[in-house]
Amino acid sequence: MIELTIDGKTVQARPGTSVLEAALAHGIDIPRLCYHPELSVSGGCRLCLVEVEGRPDPVPSCGLECAAGMVVRTRSPRLAEMRREIIDLFVSDHPLDCVICDKAGSCLLQKYAYEYGVSKTSYQFELSRTLYQDDNPFFLRDHKYCILCSRCVRVCEEIVGASAIEIAGRGFNSHVATPFDGPMIDSTCVFCGNCVQVCPTAALMPVSRRGKGREWEVERVKTICGYCGVGCEIEYAHRDGQILYAQSTPQAPVNGEFLCTKGRFGWDFATHPDRLTTPLIRRDLAYALGLTDEPWRLPDESPLETPASSIAERFVAVDWDTALDVVAGGLAQVVQQHGPDAVMGLSSARCTNEENYLFQKFMRVGVGTNNIDHCARL
């Protein structure tokens, strides 16, 4: 371990650790915009400047390796002035729309502008990026809020492996671009939304969140994604009974901050009016069991062609005990008449490992067959 001093505090760090990481690990906060703990260092924003004893000029701490005996200062009047200047430059090309911006309250540029008292630019305001791209159902790209921190580009390349976007152009023409500036759908984007998650401003925002509520107006609830056995932790931001967007947190044990497209954007079923909320039994069976007075004959066409509107005609809602009795009775009858191998169990990746374990136990020991498989193999 290396020992150094940051803001008068003696800290220890492993060789290769940056000063920024060492400071954060010891509860010393350094302003930063382009740094993200899961991504490579870009050193583009310069907000994380620190003073190092023996060096005449401040150095970006995200790219500075800890060295034994180093003495670092993260706050000083000179650093404050330099950071103010950097933020001033950012807002010279960024509309301060915070009063109407969906990101207000969770935007890093807003946070640091507030912290360093920058309410407007002292330069001539120049809005160089005006592109607004609403070309996919998942997220919006509003380039006027982009600060070119390149977090989205790095997450796409380094974590997702899609390399769908890049920073194209030079100077005021620089912008985050797909190949040939085409629509997202024509790029290699897999719509995982991890770029949206790491974007520090409103440049990338979920469509579902637009105009629906800001940071202090939404509530959050943590759950586990039900789509597959990986078990990613998801945090749903919701308001008035509606989910606004899904994200993850760095503390999530399996997935950290990252999600796939299903977890990130595939949650509309949760409050969909067609969602099944109670077991259903086919009406002919329900009639035979005396659960309804209305007789009904199974139609000849495939159930896959059953329009949603006729579900109510064809099925009868029952409670769980009744549904389980019907299933258990049907299974027992098949086993009695044709033997246990006439039954097959197909389990689901949407169940937990424990549930899948219990299911195979039930099939092998309860029913008495090894005819068991899992949808993840199909």
The DSSP string of 311-363 is HHHHEEE--HHHHHHHHHHHHHHHHHHH-GGG--EEE-TTS-HHHHHHHHHII
Identified binder of ligand FES from the candidate list 6, 47, 156, 237, rule CB under 6 A? 47
Three-state DSSP at 166 gives strand
Q: Is residue 45 a contact point for ligand FES (CB under 6 A)?
A: yes
Phi, psi of 97 (to 5 degrees): -90, 20
Q: Are strands 49-52 and 59-60 parallel, antiparallel or unpaired?
A: antiparallel
> How many binding residues for ligand FES (CB under 6 A)?
12
- Mark residues 35-74: x for contact with ligand SF4 by CB under 6 A, - for none: ----------------------------------------
Token reading at 349: 């990746």
Q: How far apart are the first and last CA of the chain?
A: 49
Identified binder of ligand SF4 from the candidate list 19, 30, 204, 244, rule CB under 6 A? 204
Q: Is residue 62 a contact point for ligand FES (CB under 6 A)?
A: yes
Amino acid residing at 346: L
Q: Is residue 190 a contact point for ligand SF4 (CB under 6 A)?
A: yes
Identified binder of ligand FES from the candidate list 33, 109, 218, 318, rule CB under 6 A? 33
Which partner from the list ligand SF4, ligand FES, none does 152 bind, CB cut-off 5 to 8 Å by kind? ligand SF4
Positions 64 through 123 that interact with ligand SF4 (CB under 6 A): 94, 96-98, 101, 103-104, 107, 109-110
Alpha-carbon distance of 332 to 330, in angstroms, equals 6
Token reading at 93: 């090309």
Q: How far is the CB of 39 from ligand FES (least distance, A)?
A: 11
Identified binder of ligand SF4 from the candidate list 23, 70, 148, 259, rule CB under 6 A? 148
Q: Which residues bind ligand FES (CB under 6 A)?
A: 32-35, 43-48, 60, 62
